[in-house]
């Protein structure tokens, strides 16, 4: 596909248990949140989305699970860009990150700059060492929040991503599908625990804290292929948004294909 002339937006390259990667871009420069596909596949999806001319400045890692970091080493070495991660995440990935160009330590609640973006990591609640989500602001003041792989929405998360133009929010499972599905009991309990994943209903309720007049787009993310359906996630989050009088578009990020949301 021929590259387009990008302005400002977010490309949800992949979202789900088989790999996650999200590109936030602004006038030719971008940051990648997670790289859970192969480096080749991430670059292919970026090109298919018409964004091959975006200069990626950094890869921001949320946590160490393979569906978020599988391609980090190869991609950052190929691009010569740093990896941003918490100390706990970087320690868990010590061998994998040993020969990347640079590892920059991030701290939840402390903003930093990657060049074209102001990045605020915030604490999430997952069964790993030191997970975070990210609020990302470009030079024009557009704000994007990415909050996935969290059993609860922490107060830090609420503070960081309230008032965003675009919100990527986990809606991992439908509670009834999870309960009646094939997973063993221990895994079901892990998923719906405070260190697991947000359900459709939890995502909808979270909008009570996160909704604002400036919120233009809500993207349901990390949809389980076994315990959810895109239409259920969209319906649940949509009902939550409408009940609050929000006019934001409600979309669903997919596992197998990229979705581009322009902010300008």
pLDDT of 189-200, one tens digit each?
A: 999 999 999 999
pLDDT of 142-174, one tens digit each?
A: 999 999 999 999 999 999 999 999 999 999 999
For the chain, how long is the longest CA-to-CA vector? 49
Rounded-to-integer distance, Cα 116 and Cα 66, Å: 28
Sheet bearing 21-26, strands edge to edge: 103-106, 83-86, 55-60, 29-33, 21-26, 8-14, 259-262
User: What global pTM score does this model have?
Assistant: 0.95
Supply 231's token pair. Answer: 């239409």
Q: How confident is the model at residue 7 (pLDDT cuts 50, 70, 90)?
A: confident
Quick check: 208 pLDDT over 70?
Answer: yes
Distance of CA 22 to the CA centre of its chain: 6
Nearest to 222 by CA among 33, 9, 25: 33
What is the SS3 assignment for 21-82?
A: EEEEEECCEEEEECCCCCHHHHHHHHHHCCCCCCEEEEEECCCCCHHHHCCHHHHHHHHCCC
Quick check: 23 pLDDT over 90?
Answer: yes
What is residue 6's predicted lDDT score, i.e. its pLDDT?
56
Quick check: 4 pLDDT over 80?
Answer: no
CATH assignment, 8-253: 3.60.15.10
Q: Domain-by-domain residue ranges, the chain?
A: 8-253
Mean pLDDT on 206-217: 93
Mean pLDDT on 229-234: 98
Rounded-to-integer distance, Cα 44 and Cα 230, Å: 24
What is residue 213's predicted lDDT score, i.e. its pLDDT?
87
Average pLDDT taken over every residue of the chain:
95
């Amino acid at each position: 596909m021929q590259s387009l002339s990008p302005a400002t937006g977010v490309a949800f390259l992949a979202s789900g248990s088989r790999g996650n990667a999200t590109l936030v871009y602004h006038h030719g420069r971008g940051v990648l949140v997670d790289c859970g596909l192969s480096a080749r596949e991430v670059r292919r999806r970026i090109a298919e989305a018409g964004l091959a001319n975006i200069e990626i400045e950094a890869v921001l890692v949320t946590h160490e699970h393979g569906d978020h970091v599988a391609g980090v080493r190869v991609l950052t070495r190929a691009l010569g860009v740093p990896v941003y991660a918490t100390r706990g995440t970087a320690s868990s990935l010590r061998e994998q990150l040993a020969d990347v160009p640079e590892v920059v330590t991030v701290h939840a609640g402390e903003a930093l700059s990657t060049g074209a973006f102001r990045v605020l990591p915030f604490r999430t609640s997952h069964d790993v060492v030191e997970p975070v989500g990210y609020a990302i602001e470009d030079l024009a003041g557009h704000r994007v929040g990415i909050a996935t792989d969290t059993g609860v929405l922490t107060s830090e998360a609420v503070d960081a991503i309230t008032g965003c133009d675009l919100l990527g929010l986990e809606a991992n499972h439908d509670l009834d599908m999870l309960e009646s599905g094939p997973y063993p009991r221990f895994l079901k309990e892990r998923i719906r625990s405070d260190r697991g994943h947000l359900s459709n209903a939890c995502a909808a309720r979270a909008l009570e804290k996160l909704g604002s007049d400036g919120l233009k787009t809500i993207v349901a993310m990390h949809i389980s292929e076994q315990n959810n359906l895109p239409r259920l996630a969209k319906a649940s989050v949509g009902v939550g948004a409408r009940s609050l009088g929000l006019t934001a578009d409600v979309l669903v990020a997919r596992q197998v294909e990229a979705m581009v949301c322009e902010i300008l």
